[in-house]
Structure 1
Amino acid sequence: MKHTKKKKLLAFVLCMILVLSTAITAFAVDGNFYYVPKDTVELSREIVKDGASQGTLYATVPGGTFKSSTDNAELQMDMQNETSESTVLEAVQTELENTGNTGYTVHQAVMGDVSFRISTEDKARIPEKAVNFRFENTSLDTAHAMGFVYDGSNGTITLYELKEDTLQFEEDVQLEAETVVVGCFDVVEKTAEEKVEDGTKPEDTKASTGVEAITQESNNIQIADTQGIVSIAENYGKLTANYSDTAVEVGYVWYRSINGATEEQQIPTQYYSTTGTNLGKDISTDGKDLYIALNGGALKYNGNETVNYKVKAYAKNDLNEYGLPKEGTTALATSSVYNVTGYYEVQNGSFETPSVTELHSGTNNWQFSNENYKKLKGAWQTTGTANASEYSDSEGADIEIVTTESDNTLDGYSSMSFR
């Protein structure tokens, strides 16, 4: 009897081992994937329109938003910069009015087609978790701006409130398509003529959803001519004004505020070097272009901590021979405030940040993309971009940093200087 009981007990144990082994094997098969990203990451892409930067889009993606069959796969955010805006802006305006903002119209907008993919795959993927977006370095009026996501696959658009005085979405976005248009815009109050045309009562001064009425005395926007708007774009230290109504001959007048002081009208000035070399004017003859460094608007110059510009468009006949408005004239339109980000002195001149050896072990050089270099607190950007290589970020090989702090050979770099 004892012998029989031992056999039964042994059979039971063997059976349990078989069941447990089967369960472990099944778990290993079901769990044969890797989370991407492993931890929360922030990705960024510059938004470019007509060759000029419109700002930068940042996406904060939580860990485990995607799955990959490959270990150490990286998450990438792609963007089609030259987004077709007309359909999207029409949808934004319609949704704005559907939410009760019938007294307002879209003033300026910044947007880009966004998609996410795993570095080991070519196809775009739908995030399994919500993503948070924010914009930086735009010319939008943050006090009167909203965000949006447009799904072109079904033509739907969703508006998002932004955090106070920033262009960051207040809530995370659960994306439902592989590619969407993510953007933000600011608004201005419609004129009486526009309100009558679309059936809105002219005396309505505030939208029901809480967007503040924007009057002609607004801090950032003044609109006298509803047929056109004026915007500011920067291209490597040069601000360029653009008035949307090309049928009207206009001139531009610039205003600058330093460290929060009252804004001052800028008078075009001719500059010379200490040796008498002609450096040119800080504002072009037609007023369209302003050169920040010549105008003294670069950060850290003479104590500049914050520098803001805005520009007004005037009818050409309303400006005098110096390019300044005649007494009693009114601007056709005024831009949103532009915040300067460029410095007077070289920043990170010896290239300590970011550190190659801390980020990439076993090598003494690495090629960063412009976007990732900026994200890692690098102060430089380059127009000489290059495609990715085995010793670069997957997004591109734009800026190469070489260090002597590695034991690897420096052959091939003998003619270069090192930090």
Structure 2
Amino acid sequence: MKHTKKKRLLAIVLCMILVLSTGIAAFANENVGLQSVACQAATLERVMKNADGEEVGTLIADIPEGAFLASSSDANIQMDVQADVGADGVLDRVQQQLEANGETGYTLNNYVMADVTFYVNGEKQIPQQPITFHVSGTSIDTENVMAFADDRQNTTTLMDADTDENGGLQFTAQPFTSETVVYGIFDVTEAAEENTDSENAIAIDTQAEATYEQTYSDDQVEIKVSAAEGVLPEDAQLSVTPIVKTDITDKMSKEEKQTAEEINTKYDETEQKLNEKATEESYSVAGFLAYDITFTDKDGNKIEPTGDVNVSMNYKEATIPEEAQKAIEEKTDDAAMNVTVMHLEENAQGEVEKVVDMVADENEKANVETTDTQSVQKAEFVSDSFSVFTLTWNKSTYSKNYNSSISIKVVDSTGADIGENTSYTFNSSTYNGWNVSGSGSLELEAIKKDITDYTYNKATLDSVTGTEITNVQCNVLESGWGQEPTYTWQYSSDGTNWNDLGTHTIYFVYDRNPDVRIKDDIVNTGKLEAEYAPNSTGTVPEVTSYTWYRSDSKTGNYTKVERVKYQATETNIKSNLSDNGRELYPAYDDGARKWYKVKVTLSDGKEEESLPFQVTYYDQLQNGSFEKPVANKQWSNADYKAAGGVWQTTGIGGTGKIGQDIEIVNPSINKGGYSDYSWKQSEWEVDGTTNKSKAPADGNQFAELNCEAAGALYQDVLTKENVSLNYWLSHHARGTNPNSNQRDTMFLVIMPTSMAKDLTSQRSLENKLTELGVDVTARDDYSDAGSNNIVYGNTPEQKATGVMVVRITSSNQQW
């Protein structure tokens, strides 16, 4: 009964999984290649050096088969090992993680570390499997040794290390989501007084070949800039404005008030942008020092350098913002604090496009020297564009050992206890995206217990007839950095509107299974099937007839389902009911989203009726333009579904990105924040009448094809045999330069759900397409209008599989 199968709609971009929809807007994030074949095992060896270029050891990586993917199994795999250029920040996080793990009596001593990047056929690639590393030729104490991995995004993992068969040290590292990871190995000693550790900090030569030099100085800091010949005009003037909040007083002149108001506005904008980045990356800002650093020509016009400019900030006394100092003094937990350089990069209109952590970003050069009390002494960085720079004190959000639980009462429909009550605990180890305010919620049905002879019905408050609820979340509130958090459990009936749980008790209500049940086999055969399986012993009467009933809601009015016949082909007649009435085919009964019951009449004259059952699928694609819910944010799968979004994804946010699965963009909510998509300017122009960006191809919103992980946005749709399905797709490449015509290639995939249901990852989908003979590494030439080619589903044999694959190429200049 192939005709009644649901078809799952997926779309993939080269190395990023994309979206399909009716009239949807979607675009890619990177121009990288999609791999399909597991690479052979390999052993790679590289020398490790410190920031001064001195050899400090040898790093060997044992690459297992399948750790990387390519177009052929004998691909060229390379390991690039570079001296780590931001040792201070990494080592601070390692020490903080060591203390968070309970090793408070020890401190990091000797270490070796390096930035490690893997390349497959010349392209960067993240390992798909754990890799065992061997380190030799070091002075590390093998008796007190550990290893670490750090992604420079406030995520540090400690690992056990031991001696290998050759007398060196070895450890096994799990995959990170970053292309470049800092790996290191260290020994520990008993804790002693902390010292400023900057000997391995990035070396920025502020004097080499410098023909342009200028200095700014005030009571707090001296800022020196230098650049090579031709980078700046000889008469260019350095301009530095400290961004400090000032009280406006009546004693000020009109000009002084105006200047103070402008600086205050700049301060507020800077604080907002820093906090937005902190929220996105799961940390908080404890304080910052901000400076607007620019250059002007002889006429006072702002100019930008044509190359790199070295900046050195030397503080006359070690300095820390009052807010950060207070946070350190009040610190009662093991949360991590670090100091970094942030650059608020602006576009040509002076709008902040993005905030770059110059210490964490591997493409930047920056270093901060602090005292053991986190006061800054010196900062150095290199930049080829100038605007607001900050020294920012960041505190890791998730290093706190959170722990809070709720108890759930398990009862039948009469309120009687059945089995044992259950509970659910929110803590750091079970963090999965729903437990911190704003990061997501937990569907209660996802944690229900399976109880023999019972079927889960609903979750309610205080009794079986109480308010029905669907989701819970645990919000963590800290009154100040480092303070003991307050846990507030909340419940929702729709995943959107929340109320405090307070003293309410959650009930899981189960119905005792009747003798008649509805078996769901829509995925495989397209049908619902009535099953009579009496719980009692003895003689079992026979079923003499089956009668189906349908309703628009679970508790609504149920009407009898009458037999209807459809002519599927010239020679094939289909019906919504089987000849004996036992089987019902929802696709032929307008059954999408409907509720059904079935009643059986027995040979002894008795009748038995099933519990209500809902067909959860739609018969056409939903929310094609991503208009619901209205938002400009990243969602967890559960929250997006609960808010009516329908779409789901296989790309689940990993470490540091929990709860960031689906990204919806609404430029009318945040026009300026999305100009970094590198589309041509006309795509972002504002309509003066509606004040909405023209960026979406349809409606007001669109989806970014990947959020924080590779995955497929998909829906399941009921279909009928030989009924044409028409879909329209709008795709836009993201690109890196709005003035350059760049392209991205994606794949649109339509296939039976029975085939797609196990394709839960990027790799499994790639393998399935490769198995079908689709070259997932191929790209098309294209005109400005783009191109699309059906690469599977053209021949009768291919059409018989129910699979269609379309390769689509678009530019960053238009939809």
Question: Which structure: larger Rg?
Answer: 2
Q: Which has the higher contact order (CA 8 A, sep 6+)?
A: 2
TM-score by length of 1: 0.35
TM-score by length of 2: 0.19
Task: Answer 1 or 2: which has greater strand percent.
Answer: 2
